Structure 1
Amino acid sequence: MREPEFSARGVEINRRLRSLTRAGEVRIEDGRLALLTSYGSEIDSAPVTAVRAGRPWFAGPDEAVATVNGTRYRLTLHKNGRDGGAADPGGSGGAVGSGAPGDSEASGKSKEPEGAKESGRFLAALKRAAGRR
């Protein structure tokens, strides 16, 4: 079985004002995005080419919004809930530091919260997967 292109666990998934799960999973595998509950039941899924996602102005740094099959979901991706195995075979997917002295990436300290990197990885993985189709 192939390893997913992206997998994040411990994701809070909301639809409108309703929380669907506080410890769900977002997975991109074989050209499909799947939103799963903490028990592994599928909330929704669609081909990555049919999914719209981004980081709107009103969202926190660790949040993303994805429209799957016409339904809008707010995803809160926390770094501490991340699945350690799967994720980014092609690179960081997020912002990369210049390596200059004093650069936050080079010094090991980041200016943005860990969840912001995770949501950036999600958006980059979705873009990469949609580009392959």
Structure 2
Amino acid sequence: MSETEFSETGVRIDRWARSLSRAGQVTVKDGRVALLTSYGREIDSAPVGTVSAGRAWFAGGDATVARVNGTRYRLTMPRRPGKSDGAGPARRFLEALRNAGGERD
């Protein structure tokens, strides 16, 4: 299974108070979740089964909170103009994790 289940660019990746990337990338591929900087450098990655993610009450509709290797990250997905379907990137990320066997909070 070499097909990418989820990939989104332009993602703001925060380790709570600290911004790690304002235009990063999140991918779910080959059973792994990877958080990358805008230059493609890996911030963190882990097998899908060990990653938990969900929406926090304080996060907006375009943000999720993911725990990768025990570290919590806030992932704010970009809003694409003209796309008003109910499945925004944050929702598609959570669905890709669930379908790949990850935990959902």
TM-score, normalising length: structure 2 = 0.87
Are 1:2 and 2:2 matched, yes or no?
Answer: yes
* Ranges in structure 1 where 5+ consecutive residues have no aligned partner: 81-107
Q: Which has the larger share of helix?
A: 1
Q: Spell out, residue by residue over 1:67-86, the C-alpha distance to the aligned partner (whole angstroms, 9 max, x if none).
A: 00000000000133xxxxxx
User: What is the percent sequence identity of the aligned residues?
Assistant: 61
1:51-62 correspondence runs (5 A)? 51-62=51-62
Letter in 1 for 2:72: R
Q: Which has the larger share of strand?
A: 2
Q: Which has the larger radius of gyration?
A: 1
- Alpha-carbon separation, structure 2, partners of 1:37 and 1:30: 19
User: Given that residues 6 and 96 in structure 2 are in contact (C-alpha distance below 8 angstroms), is that contact kept between their aligned partners in structure 1?
Assistant: yes
- Alpha-carbon separation, structure 1, partners of 2:35 and 2:90: 14
Are 1:117 and 2:73 matched, yes or no?
Answer: no
Letter in 1 for 2:90: S
CA RMSD of aligned residues (A): 2.0
* Ranges in structure 2 where 5+ consecutive residues have no aligned partner: none
Letter in 2 for 1:130: G
Q: How many residues align?
A: 100
